[in-house]
Amino acid sequence: MPNAEQYLKPEVIQTVARLDLRAKFIVEGFLSGLHASPYHGFSVEFSEHRRYTQGDDPRDIDWQVYAKTDRYYIKKYQAETNLTGYLVIDLSESMAYTYRQQLSKFDYGICLAASLAYMMIHQQDPVGLITFGDKIRDFLPPRSRRGQLGNILAMLANSQPVGTTEVSQNLQQIASMVKHRSLLMIFSDLLTDQKSVLDSLQRLRYAGHDVILFHILDEAEVYFPFEGMVDLQEPEQGESMVLDAEGMKADYLEAVQEMRETYREKLFAMGVDYVPLDTSMPFDKALIEYLSQRKARF
């Protein structure tokens, strides 16, 4: 039986069939790891506390937490703790791709999304779900009650990545649909026009939303492990091209690096958190980004 921290590894989590158990194991493995890491403070603040600062009422200090941490924390008021979030999932056919990993980009993304939903519901934060391909497919308004987790997991489990995608158009529509300031957690491989994606993300920022972009690529799309002549196929348009892998590897890796760096720089400038991931990476990097964002807002 794997220990808790092993459940952060995609090759272990793929052996668990049920999405609800995947989410539970990922979160428990993550939280157990926090206690032995530089992020230990997050595990306290994750429990609805924040550091005492000058001007706070000393009567609000939680002395039990002080006894455990030797630091002053106060219990947050309910108004301080509510973070409304939306999980925004790209269901384009390209998300179904995997080369040798057991989890496709889509599988990896919904495991992360389910884990974040699990964490948010545990925090009593309202969380909703939006899925899109060529148009918005599903919209589940944010709720914080326990039953919402089951609704989200069921919707994720029944989703399938098929057809083309219109990332930019859908993000612009989401900017119009979501009226109140929220944290939008977007999961996509972003295999589309980069400028249009950046423009639509800027619109979300103009609308007052906080955004974490989880850019999920397959391990092979990042490291290009191919040899000899390879037949590369574009899943959404059905186009294919036979190329010499060794001859194009350096140019390909440079292009991927340039794409990621452009996203990193442009999104940093507009205040969007950019999290580049591939399907071989443990899940904790993405969860740390969520907690960092949550901490920064309160």
Give the residue among 203, 179, 9, 214 at the shortest CA–CA distance from 95: 214
- Considering the domain architecture, whether residues 65 and 115 belong to the same structural domain is answered as no
Residue partners of 295: CB distance under 8 A and separation at least 6 = 42, 45
Residue after which a domain boundary falls, among 76, 95, 115: 76
- Considering the domain architecture, whether residues 66 and 148 belong to the same structural domain is answered as no
- Considering the domain architecture, whether residues 179 and 63 belong to the same structural domain is answered as no
Report d(CA 265, CA 271) in Å as an integer. 10
Q: What is the mean pLDDT of residues 23-29?
A: 85
Q: What is the pLDDT of residues 105-132, one digit of tens each?
A: 999 999 999 999 988 888 788 999 999 9
Q: What is the pLDDT of residues 62-78, one digit of tens each?
A: 777 777 677 777 766 54
- Considering the domain architecture, whether residues 108 and 151 belong to the same structural domain is answered as yes
Structure tokens at 77: 């008021």
Percent of the chain with pLDDT over 90: 46
Name the pLDDT band for 212 (thresholds 50, 70, 90).
very high
Q: Determine, yes or no, domain membership for 146.
A: yes
Report d(CA 250, CA 130) in Å as an integer. 37
What pTM value is reported for the model? 0.80
Residue 39 is predicted with a pLDDT of 43
Report d(CA 113, CA 153) in Å as an integer. 9
Residue after which a domain boundary falls, among 36, 61, 76: 76
Residue 2 is predicted with a pLDDT of 65
- Considering the domain architecture, whether residues 122 and 246 belong to the same structural domain is answered as yes
Q: Determine, yes or no, domain membership for 13.
A: no
- Considering the domain architecture, whether residues 66 and 155 belong to the same structural domain is answered as no
Q: Determine, yes or no, domain membership for 195.
A: yes
- Considering the domain architecture, whether residues 122 and 67 belong to the same structural domain is answered as no
Q: Residue 197 above 60 pLDDT?
A: yes
Count of structural domains within the chain: 2
- Ordered DSSP codes for 20-79: HHHHHHHHHHHHHHHTTSTTHHHHHHTTTEEE--TTS-GGGB-HHHHHHHSS-EEEPPHH
- Considering the domain architecture, whether residues 72 and 214 belong to the same structural domain is answered as no
- Considering the domain architecture, whether residues 97 and 145 belong to the same structural domain is answered as yes
Task: Specify the CATH number for the domain of residue 242.
Answer: 3.40.50.410
Q: Residue 174 above 90 pLDDT?
A: yes
- Considering the domain architecture, whether residues 206 and 247 belong to the same structural domain is answered as yes
Q: Residue 258 above 50 pLDDT?
A: yes
Q: Determine, yes or no, domain membership for 71.
A: yes
Q: Determine, yes or no, domain membership for 6.
A: no
- Considering the domain architecture, whether residues 66 and 184 belong to the same structural domain is answered as no
Q: Determine, yes or no, domain membership for 281.
A: yes
Q: Determine, yes or no, domain membership for 55.
A: yes
- Considering the domain architecture, whether residues 67 and 180 belong to the same structural domain is answered as no
Q: Determine, yes or no, domain membership for 7.
A: no
Q: Residue 84 above 60 pLDDT?
A: yes
Name the pLDDT band for 179 (thresholds 50, 70, 90).
confident
If one counts every other C-beta atom within 10 angstroms of the C-beta of residue 64, the result is 9
Q: Look up the domain containing 145 and give its range.
A: 83-295
Residue 139 is predicted with a pLDDT of 96
